[in-house]
């Protein structure tokens, strides 16, 4: 068993198409087939079912796939760490869920770059579900998300607190209210984030805990789009407070809280448990933990 064989198995298990793997890796299809047979012989079990012209992972194949992914990630990580150790400069690829990437990270990175000029940062912003996949596949060094994750391979650390608020058009029937009652949420059309969003997960959890049901909704994947729909009085929404500070100040949108309720949520740093904590990662994590996102300190 060697890294090359593991790469061939991993790519084959991922796309379940030997012809495609052969094309991508510039080797013949018989060589791919022989490599898979050698791995199965060495392990002593079948990793693929061959039914007709299609490949399917066996139960054992699925288990071996997860371990192979982690082995290849650690191997790649080791090479990157050794290479970066030759230089005082560092590189970070940071993942962030949409809210954090849009409203928190610009401020964080701006401040951090002033302090640490030799650490280069690139950002990937996506919904929480996709960020989790990037962590598992070693595409980001560290990430920042709202809500929990499904994988036990990811370590979460609670570093910030965020608040969700309800918003409406200035022409909505809520206008003039100081606080909302639970009953006010019923019989409204909600403009909500897409499935996989941390904001949506927390919002739906609040509704479920308070036995609230709403009749209809429009699903959007962009916070700016949600604000525009709300301004046009197409519906109401529940969004992170930090995302509507300017609209609240300009009075272009009304912001509300539920009477006797506060919808707080934790914001987490997220890193793979096998990830090597390099000096740039450690430096950035400590900087984030000391930063007050609400008071910009």
- In sequence order, which residues have a C-beta less than 8 Å from that of residue 63 and are 6 or more positions away? none
d(CA 229, CA 259): 25
Distance of CA 72 to the CA centre of its chain: 21
Give the position of tokens 């100040």. 249
Q: Is the residue at 296 inside a domain?
A: no
The domain of 78 spans 3-83
Mean pLDDT of 233-252: 93
The whole-number pLDDT of residue 89 equals 65
Q: What are phi and psi of 212, to 5 degrees?
A: -105, 130
Higher pLDDT, 278 or 108: 108
Encode pLDDT of 49-96 as tens digits.
988 888 999 999 999 999 999 899 888 878 877 776 555 467 899 999
**How far apart, in Å, are the Cα atoms of 151 and each of 47, 66, 77, 256, 283?**
23, 11, 20, 35, 25
Judge if 142 and 274 occupy the same domain.
Answer: yes
Distance of CA 265 to the CA centre of its chain: 16
pTM of the model: 0.65
217 pLDDT more than 90: no
The whole-number pLDDT of residue 268 equals 95
Judge if 114 and 167 occupy the same domain.
Answer: no
Indicate the DSSP class of residue 293: T
Encode pLDDT of 144-179 as tens digits.
998 889 999 999 999 998 899 999 999 999 999 999
Judge if 259 and 272 occupy the same domain.
Answer: no
Mean pLDDT of 257-274: 92
The whole-number pLDDT of residue 196 equals 78
Mean pLDDT of 174-195: 90
Residues of the chain with pLDDT > 70: what percent?
Answer: 96
Count of domains in the chain? Answer: 3
Question: Final residue of a domain: which of 24, 57, 83?
Answer: 83
CB neighbours of residue 236 within 10 Å: 25
d(CA 280, CA 278): 6
CATH number, domain with residue 197: 3.40.190.10
Give yes or no for a contact between 271 and 278, defined as CB atoms under 8 angstroms apart.
no
Judge if 38 and 152 occupy the same domain.
Answer: no
Q: Average the pLDDT over each of 34-48, 59-73, 206-220 and give the range with the smallest value.
A: 206-220
């Amino acid at each position: 068993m060697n890294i090359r064989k593991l790469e061939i198995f991993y790519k084959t298990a991922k796309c379940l198409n030997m012809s495609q793997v052969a094309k991508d890796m510039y080797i013949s299809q018989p060589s791919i087939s022989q490599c898979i047979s050698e791995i199965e012989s060495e392990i002593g079990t079948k990793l693929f079912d061959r039914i007709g012209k299609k490949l399917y992972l066996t139960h054992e194949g699925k288990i071996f796939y997860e371990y192979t992914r982690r082995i290849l990630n650690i191997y790649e990580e080791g090479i990157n760490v050794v290479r970066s150790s030759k230089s005082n400069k560092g590189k970070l690829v940071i993942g962030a869920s949409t809210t954090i990437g849009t409203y928190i990270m610009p401020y964080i990175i701006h401040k951090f770059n002033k302090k640490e000029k030799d650490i280069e940062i690139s950002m990937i912003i996506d919904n929480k579900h996709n960020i989790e996949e990037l962590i598992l596949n070693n595409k980001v060094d560290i990430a920042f998300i709202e809500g929990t994750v499904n994988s036990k391979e990811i370590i979460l650390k609670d570093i910030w607190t965020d608040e969700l608020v309800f918003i409406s058009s200035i022409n909505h029937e809520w206008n003039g209210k100081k606080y909302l009652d639970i009953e006010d949420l019923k019989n409204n059309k909600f403009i909500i984030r897409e499935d996989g969003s941390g904001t949506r997960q927390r919002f739906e959890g609040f509704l479920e805990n308070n036995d609230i049901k709403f009749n209809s909704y429009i699903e959007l994947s962009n916070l700016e789009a949600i604000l525009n729909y709300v301004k046009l009085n197409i519906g109401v929404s529940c969004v992170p407070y930090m995302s509507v500070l300017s609209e609240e100040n300009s009075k272009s949108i009304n912001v509300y809280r539920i009477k006797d309720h506060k919808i707080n949520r934790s914001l987490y740093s997220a890193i793979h448990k096998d990830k090597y904590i390099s000096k740039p990662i450690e430096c950035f994590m400590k900087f984030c933990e000391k930063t007050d996102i609400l008071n910009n300190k």
